[in-house]
Amino acid sequence: MAVRGKHILLGICGSIAAYKAAYLTRLLVKAGAKVQIVMTPDATHFVTPLTLSTLSGNPVLVDYFNATTGEWNNHVHLALEADAIVMAPASANTLAKFAHGLCDNLLCAVYLSAKSPVFIAPAMDLDMWGHGTTQSNIARLQSFGNHVIPPGNGDLASGLSGEGRLAEPEEILDALEAYFTKTLPLAGKKALVTAGPTYEAIDPVRYIGNHSSGKMGYALASQLLFLGAEVTLVSGPTDLPVPIRAEYVAVTSASEMLSACMAHFAQSDITIMSAAVADYTPKTVADQKIKKEHAALRIELVKTPDILAELGKQKQPGQILVGFALETQDEQANAISKLHRKNLDFIVLNSVRDHGAGFAGDSNKITIIDQNSDIEVFGLKPKMEVARDICVRIMRLLKLP
């Protein structure tokens, strides 16, 4: 998430739509943002500071001065600490104050002190929104460089229906993500990541598979998103939550994974094949469950498609293709052979002999080998940090800082 680690100041004005600010706060915190909330006095009539303080993990500020503690809320410092300021909901009254420099509460003072981008999400009845003065104020605010998140069209608190309802919290988060993504190193790049196992059916209830949890691939998808890339995640069966904003393609078998990869590979600048694809699949699949009637069962197996080799044949100049090799013996020799046979830019080698690495766990120990036979060995790390190391190598290939 591009907002991860960002300081977001959320300004809340007096509007029935203030209840949505609680959900927006939750989304921002879940995305990894640090949220400081400033409310106008009227906003406290619609949603309590206690609710928002609990959700944000920070005290909610309303006034310049706390008479009980003697603490002064410095509007200048609040504005300077913010990576972005979001006014949601922004009432017609507060919009007018912002547009004309009126400063009769803490939130207005923060706005006038802002150095970071300001996002304004208006909320009001349709006639108030459509009034010439409101539209003039909106145009004036945009001329100052503010980002206006347009209101939606639908049912309003007045009982009327039309334009004026606060943009949905997800839309506001998307606007922030889009802004911060533009400044990230992989902005504009498309990435394809495969993850998890494939299951090759024997009959309707049994399959051939492996122990892959998908954690490494999902960590890579999350890290690429964090760096600004558009990510398509093609995943075999896992129980992992899909990274927010990733395009998700669920597959089961190796043939399904091949089809999904072929559909996205040509448009991808970066492809990382971390899935543990089954090497063999039953030649025939029984229509009904095979009964346990005999002491032995023979299943004829055939090779599954070599997805990585197929993509390596189709790779064009400028595309980056990364593969994984999980080995049990002659690790480096086998990995180097795979690197060259499949036309990879570099290969990520795991050994199941390394304690704490490999399938299912939360850590991994890798070695990266490139086309120049340069070998870089990493220590045991959490898989998210391993994903970061792999992305650093990709950015080096792209000649990015």
Pairwise CA distance, residues 343 & 323, whole Å: 10
Catalytic center residues: 210
Task: Enumerate residues 6+ apart whose C-beta is below 8 A from 312.
Answer: 321, 341, 342, 343, 344
Identify whether the C-beta of residue 298 lies closer than 8 Å to the C-beta of residue 321: no
Name which of 332, 400, 321, 328 is nearest 369 in CA terms: 332
Name which of 79, 85, 95 is nearest 140 in CA terms: 95
Q: What are the C-alpha distances in Å from 211 to residues 69, 196, 358, 360?
A: 57, 9, 9, 7
